[in-house]
Chain A
């Protein structure tokens, strides 16, 4: 939909793809997506949004109900998974438990009929790449989660595929290891230049690693864009809510005038950037303002009253929960600067933000909570 390349060219192309399991509901609704060679594209969305189904269709484990998928210009709908030459990293790694690490890595080479000496050198190279040399003879069960993860990545890459799919590969790791692996995968991608399609529900993972992110919800791509665009300029309230932290104010559009929307929020008119709120008056809209774009003070485009509800000391900044225009979940991040005079709980103060930082979006009926699993 928005921002996706319809049909078009690209290394991987989803062309009007639909998928239904039961013949009644669509899990994937008219998907159009083009991925360039060498790109790192993440499919991000809550569970049940259709992202994994898309990945499985690309890998060949599911067949599209309608539409076609092209790889390097060729339709691949009738090509068996093992002939697609796509590397894949699975959620729980799917390392073959009855084979050693070396055997696991050699497996794709073996089934391709590569001779033994060549096999050994390529296995060694793949192990070096993920810094796991010396673990050749271990069984997967003898490795830690992070080590298994590395082997799984190495196995997906050892036969030099041009496209690698990753299905929530870091989901089973603890936070610290997950972050470490994010960088590692990112570096491998940069080093090898392979095309990566990555599926996750973790927005910070997506932001860290991706060239572009396709935000999925309800079987549709909500927005396809690079991380900063996605964060700074969400197209709709779902994306705004799903990516990063977000303050919401619900109101009615009064009028749109010269790229400024005047929105009535509980009787107070504020100005906002009209993005997805229609251009006439009377529309419901949801205003989206990032917490770091708001400051305490009385100078700016919009100045409104606020009551301090809660203060949380977080070291580098202070998280301040306020009641603003009837929303008592309104968050402001105040830098922990020596000069800042911290407000006290219960005190009344004023907050301010600029018009272009406040985006007037669609009045999303249900906003998905952030970072759902």
Chain B
């Protein structure tokens, strides 16, 4: 592919700048001539990658765009409560007991009556409940009561609604609707960084409700630790692999790849058997009399680090190996012949050349690690879980997909930023994946 997709620049490379474009035999500029002649090859190359492109587009780009849209989507409020949204414009609450004008109530009751018919009132209630706890049941309650509210006049509607529940006579619920009356909202992102978006703007959540920033930080910190441990453990193995005779190297490589032949879940569960309180490690240590009571080896960060390091180690070793394999032994020999000790030869000559392998392995392991889900879920307990476990929780349990999408988008951005930083610092061209 890389050979056939010739850069268009290549055509101009031979043209001396002072003479203008070189002309082909028929008088057309050489560059254009060349382009025409390689177009066929380009089209063929494109056809070859087309299945992948379509696959990536459908299975990947579209969901990502969907995720990004969902993280700001708030259309349920203006669509379900169109009249209310308009009527609330311009109203500012003067105090906690200040209520909007009766016209707002009339508009709201009409909206809710229509929504209740379409069974959408609980959807909007659920949406607003993410911001203000307790709203969901008020909307559910309205579903049954709305029909009976008198809408002959705005005042009657107001009285009727407050009669259903006193909450409707307070400013806060109307302020919530007002804050979330747009097609789009930044509310989910505010939540994703432990903030709340209310009528006064973005407010920090109390400490005992702050969780996401801490989880992001923990995810990044543990991923870094795992990456570093993987690098430390993987480096000697990769070195051994690349410096063994072919037969031994192949055997070693099979050992490295062996974990790939078992499912991720099985490997994680195996760690569970090893690490639990009555597990293999604790039992042996206890029976040898080394420890009195079992060590807490899992359901904590230690368990997550150990299991994930094991699982991700091959992803570190393979790029390192592929880089180290290309470093001829003559470099170290040359360094030694020039007077360097073994250590200096390693530090000054071998190690710098193996850095691209560490970089590639490191980026791979880190990116895999920060998106990890199953292993922290099984062995992480409560202190060893990652942000992705929380994302899954919001998808599966609380159905707050907007928040899940915002968290996912932030994770995506975090990875892209890291990727960019890495590119700037190390240079992606120095990364060798094989």
Contacts and interface: CB of A to CB of B under 8 A. Distances in A.
Direct contact of A and B (CB under 8 A): yes
Interface of A: 59-61, 80-88, 90-92, 94, 96-98, 107-108, 111-112, 155-156, 159, 165
B210 interface: no
Interface string B319-354: 000000000101101111111111011001100110
Nearest to A113: B339
Contact of B338 (A91, A97, A108, A165): A108
B333 A82 contact: no
B352 A98 contact: yes
Contacts of B337: 59-60, 81-82, 84, 86-88, 156, 165
A111 B334 contact: no
B41 to A, nearest CB: 28
A111 B338 contact: yes
A371 B173 CA distance: 95
Contacts of A98: 352-353
A60 B345 CA distance: 15
A155 B338 contact: yes
A82 B330 contact: no
A275 B145 CA distance: 124
Given A94-B328, A94-B330, A107 B353 contact: no
A365 to B, nearest CB: 32
Contacts of A82: 335-342, 345
A61 B333 contact: yes
Contacts of B335: 82, 96, 107
Contacts of A155: 338
A199 to B, nearest CB: 14
A104 to B, nearest CB: 9
Contacts of B353: 96-98
Contacts, number: 71
A68 B160 CA distance: 110
Given A96-B349, A97-B353, A98-B352, A85 B339 contact: yes
A107 B43 CA distance: 50
B206 to A, nearest CB: 52
Contacts of B341: 80, 82, 111
A94 B340 contact: no
Contact of B339 (A91, A92, A96, A108): A108
The 8 lowest CB-CB distance pairs between A and B, nearest first, are A108-B338, A94-B334, A88-B337, A94-B330, A81-B336, A90-B330, A82-B336, A111-B340
A87 B349 CA distance: 17
30 contacts: A59-B333, A60-B336, A60-B337, A81-B333, A82-B335, A82-B340, A84-B337, A85-B339, A88-B334, A88-B337, A88-B338, A90-B334, A91-B330, A92-B330, A94-B330, A94-B331, A94-B333, A96-B349, A96-B353, A98-B352, A107-B340, A108-B339, A111-B338, A111-B340, A111-B344, A111-B348, A156-B338, A159-B338, A159-B339, A165-B337
A90 B336 CA distance: 12
How many chain B residues sit at the interface, stated as a range, is 10 to 19
A50 B139 CA distance: 91
A96 B342 CA distance: 16
Nearest to A83: B339
Contacts of A108: 338-340
Interface in B287-338: 328, 330-331, 333-338
Nearest to B334: A94
B347 to A, nearest CB: 11
Nearest to A81: B336
B395 to A, nearest CB: 46
Interface string B235-246: 000000000000
B331 A96 contact: yes
A83 B349 CA distance: 18
Contacts of B333: 59, 61, 81, 88, 90, 94
Nearest to B352: A98
Contacts of B342: 80, 82
Given A80-B336, A88-B334, 17 more contacts: A60-B336, A82-B339, A82-B345, A84-B337, A86-B337, A88-B337, A92-B330, A94-B328, A94-B331, A94-B334, A96-B331, A96-B334, A96-B353, A98-B353, A107-B338, A111-B348, A165-B337
B324 to A, nearest CB: 14
Contacts of B340: 82, 107-108, 111
Nearest to A91: B330
Most buried by B among A60, A86, A97, A98: A98
A100 B339 CA distance: 18
A165 B339 CA distance: 14
B328 A92 contact: yes
A200 B349 CA distance: 27
A184 to B, nearest CB: 20
B339 A112 contact: yes
Contacts of A88: 333-334, 337-338
A84 B339 CA distance: 8
Contacts of B334: 88, 90, 94, 96
Contacts of A111: 338-341, 344, 348
Nearest to A165: B337
A61 B336 CA distance: 9
A107 B334 CA distance: 11
Nearest to A158: B338
A98 B426 CA distance: 13
A59 B348 CA distance: 20
A84 B331 CA distance: 17
A318 to B, nearest CB: 43
A111 to B, nearest CB: 5
A91 B333 CA distance: 12
Nearest to B350: A96
Interface string B141-180: 0000000000000000000000000000000000000000
